[in-house]
Chain A
Amino acid sequence: MKSTELPPYARAMGMEFDGVDHGSPVIAMDYAPRAMGRPGFLHGGAIGGVLEIAGFAALAAELERQGADLRIKPINISTEYLRAGLPERIYARGEVVRAGRRVANVRIEAWQSDRTRPVASCWMNFQLSPKKA
């Protein structure tokens, strides 16, 4: 994934880029029934999906800055759901804690109308490997 390009799943869910904040792309997604879990709230999986895409985008942007053309594979994700996801636009932004040669560690936060009240936060670990020729 490039830092400026979204995969089919993200586009199908209605995710889009909403600017860059301190070097990390902000991913946004408007509410739609396809993201609804229990009636009137965002599905935890849809929130997780936005977090992951923001994590990929933050890491891709960091690797581009370093001039590294590497394959990114998620190893794991651990999400804390902090507040109920409301039926409104959601944003997420990742922060690369460390991008080494083989592994990268990224923290991601999602919020809605009030950025100081996060809806969910997570960490993700990624495996980095050379691109196959």
Chain B
Amino acid sequence: MDTPDLNENPLERFARAVGFNPREWTAHMNRAGHSGFIGMRYVDHGDIWIELGFDWRADLVGDPETGVLASGPIISLLDNTTSMSVWTRANAFRPQVTLDLRIDYVRAATPHKPVFARAECYQLRRSMAFVRGIAHDGDITDPVAHAAGIFMLVDGQEWVK
């Protein structure tokens, strides 16, 4: 039996208890907070990648004349999917923070269509994870946005309050 680690924070304890299950993790994280506000949901995952999505909504629009979504929610979706791709690849939760994230807006997302993002962790190092992702609105070969970023693995004690 595992000895309980009293220094472990609640999220780490949660992660250890459930293992890293991308579907359950998404459901848990999206009950509240920013991901919950955007309405992110689990779509699919593989060994080093995960796909999440959210529905078009009038209050997420950036251009009221066209109904095109703001890019903010797309940043959030790519931040979440790239971040979770690291845990998917590691098959474990580990505290990490976004070092940088670059996003190219290839085209405007089609109004009223849900947006999806598929992201992968293409290299995992001891202190850094390298990620990339594609956002689309139904056809991944016709992307809406392309992302590349780096996450820094950090000490769990600093990760949550």
Q: Which residues of A contact B (CB under 8 A)?
A: 1, 7-13, 33-41, 43-46, 48-49, 52-53, 73-81, 84
In angstroms, Cα B149 to Cα A76, docked, is: 13
- By the criterion CB–CB under 8 Å, are B75 and A76 in contact? no
Chain B interface residue bracket vs A: 35 or more
Q: Do B76 and A45 touch across chains, with their CB atoms under 8 A apart?
A: yes
B105 lies within 8 A of chain A by Cβ = yes
B26-69 residues at the A interface, CB under 8 angstroms: 32-38, 58-64, 69
Residue of B nearest to A38 (CB): B160
Which residues of the other chain, B, contact A77 by a CB distance below 8 angstroms? 71, 75, 102-103, 105
Given contacts A36-B32, A48-B101, A77-B75, 12 further A-B contacts (CB under 8 A): A8-B70, A9-B60, A13-B72, A34-B37, A45-B34, A45-B78, A45-B79, A48-B72, A49-B76, A77-B103, A78-B103, A81-B100
22 contacts between A and B (CB under 8 A): A7-B63, A7-B70, A8-B58, A8-B70, A10-B72, A36-B34, A41-B161, A43-B33, A43-B35, A43-B79, A44-B101, A45-B38, A46-B72, A48-B72, A48-B76, A49-B73, A49-B75, A49-B76, A52-B75, A78-B101, A81-B97, A81-B99
Whole-angstrom CA separation of A7 from B105 in the bound complex: 18
- Which residues of the other chain, B, contact A78 by a CB distance below 8 angstroms? 100-103
Evaluate whether A75 and B105 lie within 8 angstroms (CB atoms) in the complex, with A38-B159, A81-B98 already known. yes
Residue of A nearest to B77 (CB): A45
Please tell me if the beta carbons of B76 and A43 are within 8 angstroms of each other in the complex. Answer: yes
A97 CB to closest chain B CB, in angstroms?
Answer: 17
Contact present for B70 and A10 (CB under 8 Å)? yes
Residues from chain B with Cβ under 8 Å of A40 in the complex: 160-161
| B-to-A contact residues, CB < 8 Å | 10-11, 32-38, 58-64, 69-73, 75-80, 97-105, 108, 158-161
Least CB distance from B36 to A in Å reads 8
* Contact (Cβ within 8 A) A7 B61: yes
User: Is A52's CB under 8 angstroms from B71's CB?
Assistant: yes
Which residues of the partner chain B approach A37 to less than 8 Å between Cβ atoms?
33-35
Q: Which of B60, B73, B104 contacts A76 (CB 8 A)?
A: B104
Cα–Cα, bound, A73→B65 (Å) = 13
> Which residues of the other chain, A, contact B64 by a CB distance below 8 angstroms?
7-8
Q: Which residues of A contact B80 (CB under 8 A)?
A: 45
Whether B79 pairs with A9 at a CB distance below 8 angstroms is no
With A45-B34, A45-B80, A48-B79 given, is the CB distance from A12 to B60 under 8 Å? Answer: yes
> Is A49 a contact of B79 with CB atoms below 8 Å?
no
Contacts of B34 in A (CB 8 A): 34-37, 43, 45-46
Cβ–Cβ < 8 Å partners of B158 in chain A: 84
